A = this chain, B = another copy of it.
Amino acid sequence: MSRSTEGLKAAGEWHILKGLLPTFENKSVLDLGCGYGWHCRYAIEQGASAVIGIDISAKMLKQARALTNSDAITYLQMPIEDIDFAKGQFDMVISSLAFHYIEAFDAVCEKIFDVLTKGGSFVFSVEHPIFTSRAAQDWHYGEGGERLHWAVDDYHSEGLRQTTFLGEDVVKYHRTVASYLNTLIGVGFTIKAVQESYPSEDMLEDMKDELRRPMFLQIAVEK
């Protein structure tokens, strides 16, 4: 996972999945793209019995382990696409801002469906398709540098987006809202809730432009 993700995760606690999450009590949880392990630790604090966190970045997992003081959390370094667990091993799968870096969302969804117990929950966030559609992924600015509106283009052209974040090249994959939902439904999930991010009230002063377009899409489904 790139450093851009670190930046987003650090900047983006307000996007967090809390509002969509079922109770963690006594649940076995899988966190895909766990980064520094924030959600892993949160799950344990909320009563999860065991958590496995997956990330491709050895550097982020090293930091995650340093921040973690619980035997109930296991961190594994691998691409999300390579997960290979027992059928029905988990009660809950969570993922924060990882899937827009992954090309094969459908294949990953099938794996997630398999490793979830019947009635299990899958809750995740991605950068919103309104956000990922244009390679530029930016506001349209006026002559004085003011944000005039959010620019959308190429919405139906799914696939690779080569963009930059804090000066680094980042590769993302754009999918439409319909694609995310229909892939989940096609795999067999039931849609339970959809959120499009907006800042919490205490963040609103600094982030009022976040009311002008949704940066993140959050989806909760059930097997």
Contacts and interface: CB of A to CB of B under 8 A. Distances in A.
Interface residues of A, number: 33
A213 B140 contact: no
A214 B190 CA distance: 24
Contacts of A153: 149-150, 212-213
A152 interface: yes
A185 B194 CA distance: 10
A36 interface: no
A18 interface: no
A193 B157 CA distance: 20
Given A130-B130, A140-B149, A149-B151, A156 B214 contact: yes
A191 interface: yes
A196 B178 contact: yes
Contacts of A198: 156
Contacts of A133: 213
A223 to B, nearest CB: 14
Contacts of A45: none
Interface string A190-210: 111111101000000000001
8 contacts: A149-B153, A150-B153, A150-B155, A152-B152, A152-B212, A181-B181, A181-B194, A185-B191
